[in-house]
Chains A and B, each alone.
Chain A
Amino acid sequence: MSLLTKYLKGWRFRSTTPSLETGDEINVFVAETNGTDEGLAYIGDTELRIEGAGPDTVEKRVRVRVTAFDETDATARGEFLEVVGESSYTG
């Protein structure tokens, strides 16, 4: 990314409920889990339920393939692929 592009990036109003594309692979922080095999990530106020993201993925950055997105209620589903990073503060 050029220096100028970096300075011009983000001059826009971003939605509280961003859209996701089915089939895309994205990185997100997992906020919560149901305690077994499903995680929940908030991308703004869009809720992404992640199959296969168990308790050990909470507050970690994970790679997810989006499998479904419903724009009307800003919910999505996805498959957990791998852990790609930690929180800034892992304690």
Chain B
Amino acid sequence: MSDASDDSPEGDPTDSFAQGTGSDEPRITFYGGRGMSALPIAFFIVWAIAQTALWRISDTSGLVVGILIGLILGMFFVRGDWKTYANTIFEGMTQPVAVTAIVAWIWAGMFAEVLQDGGFVDGLVWLADVGGIGAALFPALTFVLAALFTTGIGTGYGAAIAFVTLFFPAGILLGANPILLFGAILSGAIFGDNLAPVSDTTIVSAVTQDSDIGGVVASRFKYVIIAAVVAFVGYLVAGQFMGGLEIAGDAQEIFVAESEPIGLVHLVSMGVVIGAAVAGRHIVEAISWGIVVAIAFSLALGLMNVGDIVSFNAPEDAPVAEPLEFLPVLTIVEDADAVGVGGSLIEGAAGFFELAILVLLIIAAAQIMIRGGAFQAILDWSIENLATNVRNAELTMVGSSALINAVITINTAAEVAIGPYISKIGERFNLNGYRRANILDAQTAALGYIFPWSGGVLAGYTAMQDLPGEYDWFEPGMLVTPIDVVPFVFQGWLLVAVFVVAAITGFGREYLIDRESEEVARL
């Protein structure tokens, strides 16, 4: 903060910063000060690191217990009535951004599962084999395809799920390194999440910085493509040095030899989703069309039957099971354990039910942090001490949006929370809306797919956990532990680095006097 601002309180942007979080004063007060409101999140992060990194236990329900205990512990430090704390948990859980992410996960999960069961992985392996794409090239190729796919559909979470379900097993069979593969998938998701006009984070970045979406996308292309070119080279080089896994027996050779091109018909299913999204259809509508087309192709070409899509396994003593046994979706089972509903759609969706609960609870804990003032305290400090000139202001914008996205699981939620601060700091130095939106969204997209508790990583990792049940050759030991992938999300780290360099050197910086962003308008 400059000297000039110190003697002019009205000009101090921190005065009005609280507007962005919807409250001027912390609504919950804690013994130990504002910082204690970060206890639930902090406890959860420690728990998540211990469980997933130190003890290598990949269990989403364990993480759910971690955040639940964190939320209970935090309550004991609340001054006064605990009811406000409890209500804030509900307030956080009912935020639209959390529900939006969950909907995207479930729809993408169903879509990816139908494609997988419809032989798409088979087709990919065939194509890679025929095309001579070896293990070393596969991660780089996966990065490019995931980037294109995400740019089309706009949801990086959905892309992470689809590519982990489909490309990950294909790559492992071809001998690619699994950690590098997962990193390449997450990198592609970051690329598209950052650049796609239909991406929720792109839209939030434009809207919160009062800029048109088309202009935002065009102006951020330069940063994204620089990071992507370096990331692509990174995956090419790393692919040469990082070896794949040994698949037991001759499963690898058999799978490759038996792979057939017919599953590639689902490229059309993917194209339908991308086309519908680019045409401006809602993501639920776009993926639903993809599911319909994928099911139609699979049934018509004999890749699946109706029972593979939805199946009811009824017990023998069910009252009207036997008369209706002719239905292709109904099977009478003798084993009581086999009773249930199965098929691609339920398996694709059900994989994300636990994760949905986890995310709702994390968003609740983040809301406690916002209402309790820890979030404000961190930002106040950074603005007072760091944003003293335009270069430092931009570095502060990069740092603060990176920090909040590193802490809050759902990056859109983090972006909504930090948006007003980025706006205030940027406007103070007359940075135009495009520059502000680009700084904001790059960190949002990047940090949402790097850490073990990031939504994108959790989504991909959850999808990965179904693979051992899907393929005989896929052993649980082949799963990538989220902490291991952190250094290999090249696009994420490079995007942050590009913006640090851009802030220091002035690359791409635009002031209001250079160009004013156009009116906000969704595509």
Contact = CB atoms under 8 A, between A and B. Distances in A.
A44 B433 CA distance: 14
A15 B210 CA distance: 24
A: contact size bracket = 35 or more
Given A32-B8, A45-B389, A89-B20, A10 B510 contact: yes
A41 B509 CA distance: 17
A10 B513 contact: no
Nearest to B433: A88
B221 A28 contact: no
B390 A29 contact: no
B280 interface: no
B513 A27 contact: yes
Nearest to B507: A13
A31 B5 contact: yes
B506 interface: yes
Nearest to B388: A45
B187 interface: no
A14 B510 contact: yes
Contacts of B428: 29, 31, 42
A89 B16 contact: yes
B95 interface: no
B25 interface: no
B10 A33 contact: yes
B516 interface: yes
Contact of B218 (A9, A14, A42): A9
Interface string A2-25: 010011011111111010100000
A16 B389 contact: yes
A40 B505 contact: no
A43 interface: yes
B427 interface: yes
A10 B429 contact: no
B382 interface: no
Nearest to B211: A88
Contact of B506 (A9, A16, A61): A16
Given A32-B8, A88-B208, A11 B430 contact: no
A43 B390 CA distance: 8
A29 B512 contact: yes
B11 A40 contact: yes
Contacts of B5: 31-32
B513 A18 contact: yes
A26 B210 CA distance: 18
Contact of B221 (A7, A27, A41): A7
B474 interface: no
B10 A14 contact: no
A88 B19 CA distance: 11
Contacts of B221: 7
A50 interface: no
A10 B428 CA distance: 20
B513 A14 contact: no
Nearest to B215: A6
Given A6-B214, A33-B10, A35-B8, A43 B513 contact: yes
A34 B7 CA distance: 9
A59 interface: yes
B219 interface: yes
Contacts of A59: 13, 16, 424, 427
A29 B427 contact: yes
B510 A58 contact: no
B77 interface: no
B511 A18 contact: yes
A32 B424 contact: no
Contacts of A35: 8, 10
B317 interface: no
A28 B431 CA distance: 9
Interface of B: 2, 4-5, 8, 10-13, 16, 19-20, 208-210, 214-215, 218-219, 221-222, 389-391, 420, 423-424, 427-430, 433-434, 505-516
Interface of A: 3, 6-7, 9-16, 18, 20, 26-35, 40-45, 47, 55, 58-59, 61, 87-91
Given A6-B218, A35-B10, 15 more contacts: A9-B515, A10-B509, A14-B506, A16-B506, A28-B512, A28-B513, A29-B430, A29-B512, A31-B11, A34-B8, A40-B4, A40-B11, A42-B390, A87-B427, A89-B420
Q: Which 4 pairs across A and B sit closest by C-beta, in order of nearness?
A: A32-B11, A6-B218, A91-B19, A14-B509
12 contacts: A6-B214, A9-B510, A14-B510, A14-B511, A27-B516, A31-B13, A42-B390, A43-B429, A44-B511, A59-B427, A89-B19, A89-B424
